Amino acid sequence: MSLSTLTRPWRPFNYGFLDESAKREIRRRTLKAIAVPGYQVPYASREVPMARGWGTGGLQVTLTLLKPSAVVKVIDQGADDSVNAASIRKFLRRVGGAGETLDTTEATLIQSRHRIPEETLRADQILVLQVPDPEPLRSVEPDISEARYRHADADYGLLWLKLYEQIVRSGRIMQGASYPSLVNGRHVMSPSPIPRWDVPKLHQAENLTILSAGREKRIYAVPPHTDVVPLVFDDIAYRVEDHAGIPCGRSGVTGYFLNELPQAGGASLHEMSDSHFATKHIQKREGAPVTLGDTYYRNGSMAR
C-alpha cells in the first residue's frame, strides 16, 4: 500500500467550494436537526472565504445544498443589494454555477441574515438563516454546560423569569429580536435576530428552515408544518411591530415590516425592509408585468 492509493487525484477545484467529506458531514447534521426540531446539533464548522460573524454558518449550509439547477437569493437585513448579499450571491454563482435572483417567488434556495421575506415561501423552497448566537439561554445562563443540562431537562424557567422582569420594569416585553420560541413543544430556540414580526412566519410554514451558526458550530432546523410558538404568558398576547398604518417611503405600500431612517430635523422616513418586494410594487404601479406572491401579512396582521 502506498500513500498515492489512499488519496484522490488532485483536482483544481471542488464543486461548491467545500470538500465532499465536509458537505457529507453537514448533510448528516442537518438531517439530525430536522429529525429533532429546534435541537442544536454540533458540527465541524469549516473555513470559508469570509470572516467569522459574516454568515459563515449559513454559507456552509447553502454550499452543501447547492446544485446547478438551484436558483439562489441572498438577503442581508432585507436588502438584496448590500455588499454582503451581492458578494455571497456572486460567490455561490462562481463555485456552483447556480442561477441567482432577487425575486423571492423565483428562488429555490434563500440565504438570509435577520429577515424572512414578506412573500410566503412554498414547500419547494429552503430558507437558510445565518445565526450569530444560537443559544437562547445565554443571557440568563452564561455557563454553556449548564445551559445544555437545562435544554435536556426542558428547564426554561429562567427565560420565563426574564420575560416577567421585562413586563414588571417596562410594562411590556422588550425582546425585539431573537425572541425565544418553543419548537414542536419541546426545545426553545433562538430564531436568529429576526424581528418579532418574522417569528410567526415560522409556525406551520410550508418550507424547511435551517439555521446555522458557523462561529458557534451549531445547526438547528424547523421542518415544514412544525409548531413554533413564542414564549408568552396566557394573559399577555404576543405583539409584533405596529407598522400597519405607516406607508413605505419608496413604494407607498402599507402593512409590511419597515425600516426607520432618521432624517434631518428629527423626522423619520420609513421604507419597506424587504427591498425587492418594494421594488416589485413600484414596477407594478408603473405598469410592468410583475407578479406579486402571497404574503404572510395583510394590512399588518397575519393572513392565516
| Same domain membership, residue 283 and residue 161 | no
- Check residue 12 and give its pLDDT: 62
| Same domain membership, residue 169 and residue 132 | yes
| Same domain membership, residue 201 and residue 298 | no
The pLDDT tens digits along the chain (304 residues) read: 787 788 777 666 688 899 899 999 999 999 999 999 999 999 999 989 888 888 899 999 999 999 999 999 999 999 999 999 999 999 999 999 899 999 999 999 999 999 999 999 999 999 999 999 999 999 999 999 999 999 999 999 999 999 999 999 999 888 889 999 999 999 999 998 999 999 999 999 999 999 999 999 999 999 999 999 999 999 998 999 888 889 999 999 999 999 999 988 888 899 999 999 999 999 999 999 998 999 999 888 888 6
Inside any domain, residue 96:
yes
| Same domain membership, residue 295 and residue 225 | no
| Same domain membership, residue 31 and residue 82 | yes
- Check residue 299 and give its pLDDT: 83
| Same domain membership, residue 218 and residue 89 | yes
| Same domain membership, residue 195 and residue 61 | yes
- Check residue 14 and give its pLDDT: 80
- Check residue 51 and give its pLDDT: 85
Contact of 61 with 74, CB cutoff 8 Å: no
| Same domain membership, residue 296 and residue 199 | no
228 beta partners: 183
| Same domain membership, residue 197 and residue 117 | yes
- Which residues have C-beta within 8 Å of that of residue 150, sequence separation ≥ 6? 137, 141, 156, 158
Inside any domain, residue 3:
no
Inside any domain, residue 48:
yes
- Check residue 11 and give its pLDDT: 66
Taking alpha carbons only, the member of 66, 111, 58 closest to residue 93 is: 66
Contact of 290 with 279, CB cutoff 8 Å: no
| Same domain membership, residue 89 and residue 219 | yes
Residues 248, 41: Cα–Cα separation, whole Å: 39
- Check residue 74 and give its pLDDT: 96
| Same domain membership, residue 208 and residue 264 | no
Inside any domain, residue 6:
no
Total domains, the chain: 2
| Same domain membership, residue 62 and residue 99 | yes
Q: Which domain holds residue 120?
A: 20-230
Q: Residue type at 240?
A: V
Residues 140, 156: Cα–Cα separation, whole Å: 10
